[in-house]
Amino acid sequence: MGKVVEIHPTTRHEGHAKLVLKVDDEGIVEKGYYLSVTPVRGFEKFLVGKPAEFAPIAVMRFCGVCPVAHAISSVEAIEDACNITPPKDGLLLRELIGIANKMHSHPLHQFLISPDFVPEKDRVEFIKRVQKMRKIAQYIVDVVGGEGIHPPNIRIGGMAKNITESAKTKIYYKCKEYEKLAKEQIEYLVPIFESRTLTNGTELPEKLGYHDFGYIATHPTYGDRTAIDQSKVVEYTPFEFYEKDVALQASTTIPTYNGRLAEVGPRARFRKFFDFKEKGAMAINIARAYELEVLVKRAMEILDELNVNGKTLSDEPIIGDGEKAGLGVHEAARGHNTHQAAIDKRGNIVYYNAIVATTWNIPVISKAIEGSHYKFAEYVVRAYDPCISCATHMIVKDYDGRVVDEKILK
């Protein structure tokens, strides 16, 4: 007969989500639905009519984990809409702070999954290493961005300030320390992920999390709007993906690229730029570990290239034509993150939309948990490091445009 298994809330990620799993008599997932049940905040709607400069400030509040990623996507979208070209050193600093955000976020995810994979005897040393890495990364965000949580230096047209020669030197040496810690982290974690063995001795299925969908990544460490055709992106409502009783609870759209679902994130970047072909949930964790070293090496390259006396902010006016939807693309910790904005001749926002990394991954997670026993579904979810609040951008309506579940608006 089979049955429906609901896991609510799913844990050790940001935001509120649930799993609805239709399983057979053996407990194997025949249909898997992973959905956001986080209440809608309506950021895109309340941005309309506001000055363009308010957008990066507001979208940094999507959640507390990815403020840098959303600010970068936002300013890039507005610059594209207004034909603004930031100075080279402003872009270098922007890439550096985006990298530092990932250098901060990845170890946090590794800490969150440590109860699954890191034996108790190693836990203290592991957490100490994670905290050292996060402290270094947060220092870089703080210095380059002007503040650790909602960095105000990320501006339309570049970055508000350059860093000093002294700060550059200090960040470089901190990166060298991070590089050493990243190597230790890789050497410790990758064999554990490759063994697919939990701390309780349970071996995860070899094909756990396998899927045949596509991958999207535009740049190994930053983002490139020219590397994607946004006209091929289509967002569907939950009613077109989930069964109705499930769709009524969901608060994210379902995006496709060229008609297909697509995974984004560290594994997608590694597949595109580093010929990484591994499949399954553990491969995502492995790619995320390897990416630590890629990120810190690029951070040091940026510091070598940066002119601390260079101009960082364009003085071009923030004025659009009210019609062109500018596109901002950033490779966030969780993957391909896009914002679109149209700006009128007074510098106000007339259109805003964000399709963030976890919005892409939510439907892929739904499918990736099918075919394995339901008791392993949570390990697939966590491998994607979902950030649910960032992904929550819609109100559930029926086909006549009426809101069908008002409680999610309160």
* Binding site per annotation, positions for Ni(2+): 63, 66, 387
pLDDT at 389: 81
Q: Binding site membership for Mg(2+): which residues? A: 44, 393
Give the model confidence (pLDDT) of 315-337 as tens digits. 999 999 999 999 999 999 999 99
Question: Distance between CA atoms of 255 and 168, rounded to whole angstroms?
Answer: 40
Measured CA to CA in angstroms, residue 350 lies from 73, 179, 214, 217, 319 at distances of 17, 44, 32, 28, 12
Domain ranges, ordered by start, for the chain: 41-366
In terms of Cα–Cα distance, which of 156, 29, 162, 34 is closest to 89?
162
350-370 average pLDDT score: 96
Residue 402 CA to residue 381 CA, distance in Å, equals 32
The answer to which of 83-92, 155-164, 229-238, 310-319 has the lowest mean pLDDT is 229-238
Residue (of 103, 100, 111, 213) closest to 153 by Cα position: 100
Contacts 24+ apart (CB under 8 A), 398-401: 399/239
* In the predicted structure, residue 9 carries a pLDDT above the cut 70: yes
Q: What is the mean pLDDT of residues 344-364?
A: 96
> Among the residues of 33-119, which ranges form H helices?
43-47, 54-59, 67-82, 88-112, 114-117
- pLDDT surpassing 60 at residue 407: no
Reply yes or no on whether the pLDDT at 343 is more than 50.
yes
Give percent of the chain above pLDDT 70: 95
Angle, nearest 10°, between helix axes 281-305 and 165-195? 160
Tell the CATH topology of 41-366.
Answer: Cytochrome-c3 Hydrogenase; chain B (1.10.645)
**pTM of the full structure:** 0.93
**Greater pLDDT, 44 or 384:** 384
Which residues sit in the known binding site? 44, 63, 66, 387, 390, 393
The pairing of beta strand 326-332 with beta strand 335-343: antiparallel
Binding-site residues for Fe cation, in ranges, read 66, 390
Chain-centroid distance of CA 215 in Å reads 14
pLDDT reported for residue 38: 81
- pLDDT tens-digit profile of 197-247? 999 999 999 999 999 999 999 999 999 999 999 999 999 988 888 888 888
Taking the C-alpha atoms of residue 260 and residue 15, their distance in angstroms, rounded to an integer, is 26
Cross-strand pairs, 189: none
